[in-house]
Amino acid sequence: MKKEIVVKEKASNQKEGKRGTKPHGLVPCLLLGVGVLFFLIMLVFPLAEVIYRSLKEGLEVYGAAIMAENTLSALKVTLIATIIAVLVNTFFGLCASWCLTKFDFRGKNILSTLIDIPFSVSPVIAGLAYLMVFGRMGWATPYVEKINEFLGTDIALVFSVPGVVLATIFVTFPFVSRELIPVMQAQGTAEEEAAVMLGAKGSTVFRKVTFPHIKWALLYGIILCAARAFGEFGAVYAVSKARGKTFTLPLEVDALYMAGSAESITQAFAVSSLLVLLSIIILVLKQIVEYRGKREL
């Protein structure tokens, strides 16, 4: 029998807290200086530039630009596309991460690699791909027309709001699953198996056992997905042509900027400032979720 005398488990953990010391000496200060300088030039100044340019012509022009009909319509389309993309991709993310982390099957690695494809594909290609399917010369266009005839509807899948939604879904497709998979992988299957042994049903297992583990990662993925969704430009640009109808905010910025007059450029920056605000809100949310998630681990 050995005597275990328990004293504060502190000293050995003390060192880990040492991570992140005050920079001492020439090299650390230099590194910090270079880092901060790069950070300011590349990330902070552009933000300041947007604000400065948007307010150049005074608050009145700013207000008018934001309240313009086109802007409001773009805001509406942006919100619709973002919300649907988040819902669809969250659903996909949950399904994909469940089957990829809780089971073993052949082709698992291939599937998990394939899911990440939209990350490495140019957004322009995403837009183009939908044009190839549903566009004027797309192979699915005749079928869509037949369905429309049959139902008496007039649904178009490109150059329309559904097209914008589809393009947005494409570029944000893996965001949620990518955040969930590592967390669910690390958690393993033991707890779920225990729950099944105790007679729990699938939905109960998910709600009571899995969900508490992944809720922060899920929220994190949703936030990233939303951030990318409302800001997508290239993919949406390819499938959206009607300003004031199917334009999203980033497209509206482009249209205003490309109009070229000093006034419209200021308006472009005014609308941009709205998007910047949205991005900052997203970043703050992300930071909060990250912090809470880490604290709970």
Residue 207 · residue 195 · CB < 8 Å: no
Record the tokens describing residue 12, joined without a space: 């050995």
Contact 230, 78 (CB under 8 A): yes
Contacts 24+ apart (CB under 8 A), 55-59: 56/266, 56/269, 57/263, 57/266
Among 254, 263, 264, 293, binds another protein (CB under 8 A): 254
Contact 85, 225 (CB under 8 A): yes
Q: Which amino acid is at 265?
A: I
Sites for another protein among residues 151-190 (CB under 8 A): 166, 169-170, 173, 189
Torsion of CA 281, 287, 291, 292, to 10 degrees: 30
Site for another protein in 12-51 (CB under 8 A): 12, 14-15, 17-23, 27-28, 31-32, 34-36, 38-39, 41-47, 49-50
| Nearer of residues 46 and 63 to another protein, judged by Cβ | 46
Cβ closest to another protein, residue 152 vs residue 172: 172
Nearer Cβ to another protein (1/151): 1
Exposure string for 144-169, b = 16+ CB within 10 A, e = fewer: beeeeeeeeeeebbbbbbbbbbbbbb
Q: Is residue 134 a contact partner of residue 158, using CB atoms and an 8 Å limit?
A: yes
Shortest Å, Cβ 26 to another protein: 11
Give whichever of 77 and 115 is closer to another protein, judged by the CB atom.
Answer: 115
Q: Which of residues 117-136 bind another protein (CB under 8 A)?
A: 117-133, 135
| Least separation in angstroms between CB 261 and another protein | 14
| Residue numbers 210-229 binding another protein by CB under 8 A | 224, 227-228
Between 148 and 204, CB nearer to another protein: 204
- Interaction of residue 259 with another protein, rule CB under 8 A: no
Q: How far is the CB of 49 from another protein (least distance, A)?
A: 5
Q: How far is the CB of 148 from another protein (least distance, A)?
A: 19
Considering only residues 54 to 93 of the shown chain, the ones binding another protein according to CB under 8 A are: 88, 91-92
Please tell me the count of residues contacting another protein according to CB under 8 A.
117
CB of 68 to another protein, least distance (A): 17
Q: H-type helices in 161-248, by residue range? A: 161-172, 175-187, 190-197, 202-204, 211-231, 234-239
CB nearer to another protein: pick between 77 and 253: 253
Q: How far apart are the first and last CA of the chain?
A: 34
Interatomic CA distance for residues 65 and 55, integer angstroms = 11
| Region of 60-68, 69-77, 147-155, 276-284 interacting with another protein (CB under 8 A) | 276-284
Among 186, 193, 242, 259, binds another protein (CB under 8 A): 193
Which positions ≥6 away from 246 have C-beta within 8 Å?
77, 159, 160, 161, 163, 164, 240
Give whichever of 152 and 258 is closer to another protein, judged by the CB atom. 258
Using a CB cutoff of 8 Å and minimum separation of 24, what contacts does 30-34 make? none
Considering the complex, state which of residue 59 and residue 111 has its C-beta at the smaller distance from another protein.
111
Given candidates 144, 187, 215, 233, which one binds another protein under the rule CB under 8 A? 233
